[in-house]
Amino acid sequence: MKTLSIKQPWTELILQGKKKIELRKWNTNFRGKFLIHASKVPDKKNMKKFGFDNLPCGGIVGEAILIDVKNYKKTNDFEKDKKLHLANKDWGGYGFILNDIKRIDFIPCRGNLNFWEFKK
């Protein structure tokens, strides 16, 4: 199944429903269900910023449906969507709009860049 690696705490914020748009520097034509992988190395600065000490890393933690991609380079919606992506423009100009987000039992595995295939 397609899988996307995301650093903590962003993964946890997605699973809690607080982050509904994942920012990327690259676009994708993929739409559909995918697994959410918490990268091995967390974003320590933002862990502190959002009040997290210890979150699961290095494995699959959830699933979601990518329903659309917003090209922020062609719209003025970046600031309007701030409460949905929780980041600044350094994270990228493409917003992956997520829906039907679910937490699943942790499955340890290595991650990868871009979308990648997870095989049980």
The pTM of the full predicted model, rounded to 2 decimals, is 0.94
Q: Which helix (H) or strand (E) holds 23?
A: strand 21-24
- Please give the chain's pLDDT, 120 residues, in tens: 999 999 999 999 999 999 999 999 999 999 999 999 999 999 999 999 999 999 999 999 999 999 999 999 888 899 999 999 998 777 889 999 999 999 999 999 999 999 999 987
Q: What sign results for the dihedral spanned by CA atoms 10, 15, 19, 25?
A: positive
Q: Where in the chain are the domains?
A: 2-108
Neighbour tally for 48: CB within 10 Å: 11
Yes or no: is domain 2-108 CATH 2.30.130.30?
Answer: yes
Secondary structure of residue 35 in the 3-state scheme: strand
Cα gap 37→52, rounded to integer Å: 18
Q: What's the pLDDT score for residue 89?
A: 78
List Cα–Cα distances, 4 to 39, 63, 73, 99, 111, in angstroms.
9, 9, 22, 14, 8
